[in-house]
A = this chain, B = another copy of it.
Amino acid sequence: MILVLVPDAEQAAIDRLRQNIEAKGLLVQHIHGENTTMLGIAGDTSEVDQESFLRIDIVDSVMRVSDPYKLANRKLHPQDTVIHVKGHTIGGGNLTLVAGPCSVESEEQILSIARDVAASGATFLRGGAFKPRSSPYAFQGMGLDGLELLKIASRKTGLPIVTELLSHEHLDDFARDVDVIQIGARNMQNFSLLREVGKLKKPVLLKRGLANTIEELLMSAEYVLSGGTADVILCERGIRTFETATRNTLDLSAVPVLKKKSHLPVIVDPSHGTGYWHLVEPLSLASVAVGADALIIEVHNAPQYALCDGPQSITPEVFHTLAQKLRRVHEAISN
């Protein structure tokens, strides 16, 4: 940590500040800049709130030098994390496809879609039982009934279940029945939920919030990891910008940045990331080309009648063709 001092800081005040910091067991070094005096602070600063220094009169700005996350940090854990779930994997050079409807609507629907996507190469089944909707008047998902239907579909196809947890009250149900617990974008900084879900020691798919930086996503992963779970999958699903031609702006640069900073696998959600089904194919191909370990794609057998997210769902037929192209691109970049 480096403190940049104001130009006219008096020596007596600088000395007092040094003594205060050294009293915390930290080392202080004087740095002479261009017209600027700085203090470098070394030692274990993890419990020091760097912002508190900004309130000291002679401190002009504070610069952080080291990363604020540890468990998620590749510098400390150079090996890629590879996640294994019921014989399927995410990470480690594979291309994993997670597919299924936005929300579970009926046994027939979820089973039919699960069979279709499995036949096309998907190895995980997604499907919402609890849906976060911006309107209290919109369809909120089938709830625990939806979870039961996911279990049936999973049993009959062998695909592990990926579904979103919205609230503490269903922690036990998810711990028992769900293979990969999804934390949605709107809950990325619901720290109380992150902490609880981390204690379950199940794989967690953590979505980036609409206004959250890559570093904040890693800090939220740190919450989950510090609960005890080793398996977190980081999900890029688009951020909010001024552009309105797409529902969100899919930030594909986040994929290589995350893979450089962290050892955790990265998944991309081109369905929410764009909001339009005709953009799902090109952005899925781009996600594989940019180095994503996995894709999570909304597939619906009758998108025009879907109870939510119809415009961004593709049909099983489109998914089938897309999966083939995805494998070709994966091969093209793997050599």
Contacts and interface: CB of A to CB of B under 8 A. Distances in A.
Interface in A62-117: 63, 65-66, 68-69, 75
Interface string A211-234: 101111001101100100000000
A187 B191 CA distance: 10
A157 interface: no
Interface in A21-45: 27, 29, 31-36, 38, 40-45
A11 interface: no
B244 A241 contact: no
A211 B213 contact: no
12 contacts: A29-B32, A32-B42, A33-B66, A36-B66, A69-B135, A134-B189, A168-B169, A210-B211, A211-B240, A253-B274, A285-B289, A329-B332
Given A7-B75, A38-B40, A333-B328, A51 B311 contact: yes
Contact of A273 (B213, B253, B276, B305): B253
A285 B278 contact: no
A239 interface: yes
A178 interface: no
Interface of A: 1-2, 4, 7, 27, 29, 31-36, 38, 40-47, 49, 51-52, 54-56, 63, 65-66, 68-69, 75, 132-139, 166-169, 186-187, 189-193, 195, 209-211, 213-216, 219-220, 222-223, 226, 239-246, 249-257, 260, 273-274, 276-279, 282-283, 285-291, 303-311, 313, 325, 328-329, 331-333, 335
Contacts of A222: 135-136
Contact of A282 (B27, B65, B255, B285): B255
Nearest to A222: B136
A226 B136 contact: yes
A80 to B, nearest CB: 16
A169 to B, nearest CB: 7
A31 to B, nearest CB: 5
Contacts of A75: 7
Contact of A33 (B42, B68, B243): B42
Contacts of A132: 189, 191
